Amino acid sequence: MKTYNTIIGGKQIIPTNTFEVKNPATEDLIGYAPISTKLEVAEAVEAAKKAQPAWAAMADEERKGYIMKIAEVLTDNTEELATWITKEQGKPLGGPGSMFEMQACVGWTQVPASLDLPVEVVFEDDTRRDELHRKPIGVVGAIAPWNWPLMIAIWQIIPALRVGNTVVLKPSEYTTIGTLEMVRMINEVLPAGVLNTVSGTGEIGAELVANKDVGKIMFTGSNSTGEKIIKGSAGNMTRLTLELGGNDAAIVMEDVNPEAIAEGLFWGAFLNMGQTCACAKRLYVHESKYEAVISVLSDLAEKMPMGNGMDEGVVLGPIQNKMQYDKVVDLVEDAKANNARIVCGGKAKEGKGFFYPITIIADVEDGTRIVDEEQFGPVLPIIKYSNIEDAIKSANRLEAGLGASVWSANVEEAKKVASRIEAGTIWVNQHGAVHPMVPFGGVKSSGYGVEFGVDGLKSVTQSQVISVNKA
């Protein structure tokens, strides 16, 4: 079985220690991933630091050209990398799965390559001219998650490189190989040291965070790890972009046609088996449409084929890892113990793989674990409300504030409700629809900073004002 390597300074680093990587659908061993040493983390940061001045000094159009070469590499290797995503993360190849993730990788590479951060004249009169310039920060440490391992790595890597930073990337220990392979391929078209990798558990991530030569950390993942990153980086005054947990609320208003919104609601909740920070994770439905919405969602759930993502026709895969699987099971069992109604699913599948059926839970209330804790899996609690004010209050009662959605036949009324929800993005008649031109980030405990678009590029720069005396 093959052992995979990290890349430091353009060279593959053969590991002294490794860990097993298994397919979550079959539990079969698929390869060995490296465990970086503390010295290798330091060497990766040093390689990035050494390469950064020349990378930043390049003409902007030349750096754009390199980014477009990366897009070509991703396009040319889409099938191979998508296969790694399916084998390692579990999502199916087709549908909203691994090929979809790779298409997103390409798009989120091409768009930053098309964007500019021109010099802004922020003030000018007869006596002075003040210009705001955007400068790279230096070395960016990127820590990627396991749910969209390649796509979110690209979200971190590409904007940082685009504006002249260099990067050290640590993939999740649950989905390491595909990400390392992607970076190996990208390195074939980049100058040495511009993009480096380290690998291993959270200890390796902590080493990266604590390194005084890392000017910014970009992290997507859990609140608990986000808090550790804040503490670990504090002594270095490191800039942070943190995209943390969601527990997104979705509000279905009384004027909806349940059949018309069923598919949008379903995939808003169960895209990637619900293992998406911005999935709908608690659904508030007006009492007049409560049973109808439950019915259309459960009908869809029963029709969706689940299995090994490498098999044709599968649209739903396993939960990615045992830790998350156990959490999902525990939350459902707790809901059962508290007299919730299990509309469909609710019982683990037998056999190998971390498969858990799409589970819809009714007759639950705020304050129960299945509502208040982010399940991050294929389970959706549906809560009944009678007054829209109560639904808004419920949506805002938790500290999570990544995304939310409002569903209504009256868009203007939905927008009024949306404006009162405390979240970074509130979608109307859709959920989780991110776009590479549209800033995305959370409020409250869902993190801070934004990604995507011009604002995302600005977030990986530091401002410099040049003030000229005209007299």
Catalytic residue numbers?
243, 277
Helix (H) or strand (E) segment spanning residue 374? none
Instruction: In whole angstroms, give the CA distance from residue 261 to residue 202.
Output: 40
Token readout for 64 is: 């754009």
Token readout for 317 is: 């895969």
Instruction: In whole angstroms, give the CA distance from residue 199 to residue 171.
Output: 6
Token readout for 254 is: 């009384």
The count of residues in the chain is: 471
Instruction: In whole angstroms, give the CA distance from residue 154 to residue 160.
Output: 10
Q: 23: helix, coil or strand?
A: coil
- DSSP-assigned states of every residue in 256-278: --HHHHHHHHHHHHHGGGG-STT
Q: 183: helix, coil or strand?
A: helix
226, 237, 461 from 230: Cα distances, Å: 6, 10, 19
Asked if 69 and 215 touch (Cβ cutoff 8 Å), the reply is no
Decide: residue 175, CB within 10 A, 0-12 exposed, 13-18 middle, 19+ buried: buried
